[in-house]
Amino acid sequence: MASQTNNTPHLHVAIIGSGPAGFYTAQALFRARPDIQIDLYERLPSPFGLVRSGVAPDHQKLKRPIQLYEQIASHTNFNLIANVTVGVDLPIAALSQHYHAVVLAKGTESGRLMNIPGEHLSGCHSATAFVGWYNGHPDFRDHVFDLSHENAIIVGQGNVAIDVCRILTKTVDELRHTDIAEHALDALAESRIRQVYLVGRRGPVQAKFTYQELKELTELSACILQTSAEELILNPASEAELAKRDSATRGRVRNYETLTKFAIESLSTKPRRCTLRFLLSPIKLMGNQQLQQVVFERNHLTGPVSQQTALGTGEYETIDCGLLLSSIGYHGTPMTGVPFDSAQGIIPNQQGRVLDHD
């Protein structure tokens, strides 16, 4: 960016969203033009987005970036405007008229739907809502999650899914020493969940969780990790993915080695079990208003190395459960006055510049 001259006007920029993207954008702008004026808009009463409300309560070290964000917010030319929903309280067109640039950094706020029959049943929720609930997010703290059933299913195998599983299976004493919301702690203290299934549509090599997250599941005081030896059998393409042994796959190798250690029937007396299942896709939720069962189709992998996809085999398996949490990604929500691609759940853009409706 060109250097400031006496004839160059002071730039005034609006940033919508006070999560990491918003603050790192502000940091980059201040470095490029220290005299720039930044107004950061946030619809909630407090800033920091997912760093505040998305980090697991037992992973407080991951909230350390807040210290940097507070430093950025202390800049003389920085102004936080909270409790304002742009597009509702304040039209985006009005901002465009009063700022040299408007940066949209509000993130994706909704969990992606599975789009299968029965998703409306009581007991089916997004992991996004559950995470917000146990972290005290204003949008989710009044949600009700029925924890009176013995079996729970988490669909998805990323780090968020592992976080959710860990919170469901930790003891109350373990949770009490975390940053969990009080209402969630009270509810989890009464939980009757004893079996949690972590289900993924592809195989163990393709699972997205990191080794550190998996390792924590093996160390829970009241929960034993289990896997299926049959579902750990690899096809040639998956074996080739593990054989790469580069930096991108090193963690997957450690994951696979760990999973194989828990593929035998355990004699553990721990009261709870977490079972990692692979090559299963949910196709239907069953129940009379309340979720009672989930029907899965067994998959096989097809395609080249590192590009394998899951295809159904026509074989099915039914698992009883009263709680299902879907952790299969996020979907954006439209903002009034801003173009939106509802199919992809994103704001259409070209290298970051928002594209007009045309």
Q: What is the pLDDT of residues 119-165, one digit of tens each?
A: 999 999 999 999 999 999 999 999 999 999 999 999 999 999 999 99
Could you tell me if 356 and 339 are in contact, meaning their C-beta atoms sit under 8 angstroms apart? Answer: yes
Predicted pLDDT at 8: 56
**What six digits make up the tokens of 291?**
């979720």
Average pLDDT over residues 318-328: 98
Q: How many residues does the chain have?
A: 358
* Order of strands, sheet of 223-227, starting from the edge strand that comes earlier in the sequence: 124-126, 323-326, 151-155, 195-199, 272-277, 223-227
Predicted pLDDT at 109: 81
pLDDT band of 190, cuts 50, 70, 90: very high
Could you tell me if 110 and 327 are in contact, meaning their C-beta atoms sit under 8 angstroms apart? Answer: no
CA distances to 24, 38, 78, 186, 269 from 73, rounded to whole Å, are 11, 10, 6, 35, 50
Predicted pLDDT at 257: 96
Q: What is the pTM of this model?
A: 0.93
Local structure of 237: helix, strand or coil: helix
**What six digits make up the tokens of 105?**
């950094």
Alpha helix locations (H) across the chain? 20-32, 49-53, 65-73, 92-98, 127-134, 159-169, 172-176, 182-189, 211-217, 236-243, 250-261
Identity of the amino acid at 322:
G
110-330: what CATH class?
A: alpha beta
Beta-carbon contacts of residue 21 (< 8 Å; ≥ 6 apart): 49, 105, 107
Please report, for the chain, the start and end positions of each structural domain, with discontinuous segments joined by +.
12-108+332-354, 110-330
Predicted pLDDT at 357: 62
Q: What is the pLDDT of residues 226-261, one digit of tens each?
A: 999 999 999 999 999 999 877 777 899 999 999 999
User: Furthest-apart CA pair in the chain: how many Å?
Assistant: 77
The tally of CA atoms less than 13 A away on the side-chain side of residue 326 is 23
Measured in whole angstroms, the distance separating CA 170 from the mean position of its chain's CA atoms is 19
Question: What is the chain's alpha carbon radius of gyration, rounded to the nearest angstrom?
Answer: 23
12-108+332-354: what CATH class?
A: alpha beta
Local structure of 212: helix, strand or coil: helix
Average pLDDT over residues 257-283: 93
Quote the percentage of the chain above a pLDDT of 70.
97
Could you tell me if 300 and 291 are in contact, meaning their C-beta atoms sit under 8 angstroms apart? Answer: no
Alpha helix locations (H) across 42-158? 49-53, 65-73, 92-98, 127-134
CA distances to 3, 31, 34, 72 from 6, rounded to whole Å, are 10, 19, 14, 25
